[in-house]
């Protein structure tokens, strides 16, 4: 009898934890997607395989659990090649959040290397740019709202807001049609292939061999200049290096 109860308890714990982990992600169907960027090898069309994406950006509380379990990513121990000096500088201490880093706020001041390590520790990875753009094209009802001028203006109004105020808690806004929150209007987000986003408005630059060396995915140009909010993200990410950290750059994981 004792053994039977032990087995039942173990099953409840495993299933419960698995269900909690599944609720963290939402499944996206993928398919053919018209990117705002034009890729030399495929034009504007991109094939997105089905994938799962975190419903919410990673929070300070989430990342605190990570650095406690993986102390090499504490701000006082991380190698300089993986994170600049401002990494987690808003936390009260290496393993303390404090008033400038509330538990439900998205974690910021975090490098690409640290974000990548966090996702790997969850058995996941950072989303590619194409996956992020695909998910972010949805509004609350439509899988692709980018053709709606009012929606594009709403995106731009969010980006026009000053970034010197305290960040809201994650999940404060309604989810999009896929069930994903905060892809716009909260923080910028790291992409797995951010360093490949090197865009030129002059097509004569696209054959520059030095540019191709830097941009591992090949040179890009703009396919649709009306998608300003997306292109602002591209400009932001393409200006970064992996160790950089800023006050409005966070992340979420995919798998």
Question: Where do the domains of the chain lie?
Answer: 2-250
Residue 135 CA to residue 59 CA, distance in Å, equals: 19
Convert the pLDDT of each residue in 42-101 to its tens digit. Answer: 555 789 999 999 999 999 999 999 999 999 999 999 999 999 999 999 999 999 999 999
Q: What is the pLDDT of residue 36?
A: 79
Return the percentage of the chain with pLDDT > 90, whole number: 58
Rg (CA), the chain: 20
Q: Which is nearest to 220 in space by CA: 48, 47, 42, 49?
A: 42
CATH of domain 2-250: 3.90.1580
Q: What is the pLDDT of residue 124?
A: 98
Q: Kindly report the average pLDDT of the chain as a whole number.
A: 81
How many CB atoms neighbour CB 114 within 10 A? Answer: 27
Alpha-helix residue ranges (DSSP H) falling in the chain: 2-24, 60-69, 112-121, 129-136, 149-159, 209-214, 228-238
Q: List the structure tokens of 164.
A: 């010197």
């Amino acid at each position: 009898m004792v053994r039977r109860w032990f087995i039942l308890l173990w099953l409840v714990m495993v299933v419960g934890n698995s269900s909690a982990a599944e609720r963290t992600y939402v499944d996206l169907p993928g398919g053919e997607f018209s990117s705002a960027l034009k890729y030399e090898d495929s034009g504007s069309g991109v094939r997105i395989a089905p994938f799962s994406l975190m419903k919410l950006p990673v929070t300070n509380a989430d990342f605190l659990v990570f650095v406690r379990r993986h102390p090499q990513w504490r701000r006082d121990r991380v190698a300089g090649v993986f994170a600049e000096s401002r990494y987690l500088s808003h936390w009260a201490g290496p393993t303390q959040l404090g008033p400038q880093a509330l538990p439900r706020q998205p974690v910021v001041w975090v490098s690409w290397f640290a974000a990548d390590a966090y996702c790997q520790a969850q058995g996941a990875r950072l989303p590619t740019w194409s996956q992020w753009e695909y998910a972010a094209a949805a509004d609350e009802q439509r899988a692709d709202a980018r053709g709606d001028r009012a929606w594009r203006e709403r995106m731009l109004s969010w980006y026009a807001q000053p970034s010197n105020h305290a960040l809201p808690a994650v999940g404060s806004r309604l989810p999009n049609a896929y069930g994903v929150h905060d892809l716009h209007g909260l923080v910028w987000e790291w992409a797995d292939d951010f360093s490949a986003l090197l865009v030129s408005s002059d097509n004569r630059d696209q054959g520059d061999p030095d540019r191709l060396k830097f941009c591992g995915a090949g040179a890009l140009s703009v396919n649709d200049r009306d998608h300003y909010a997306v292109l602002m993200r591209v400009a932001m990410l393409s200006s970064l290096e992996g160790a950089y950290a800023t006050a409005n750059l966070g992340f979420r994981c995919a798998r």
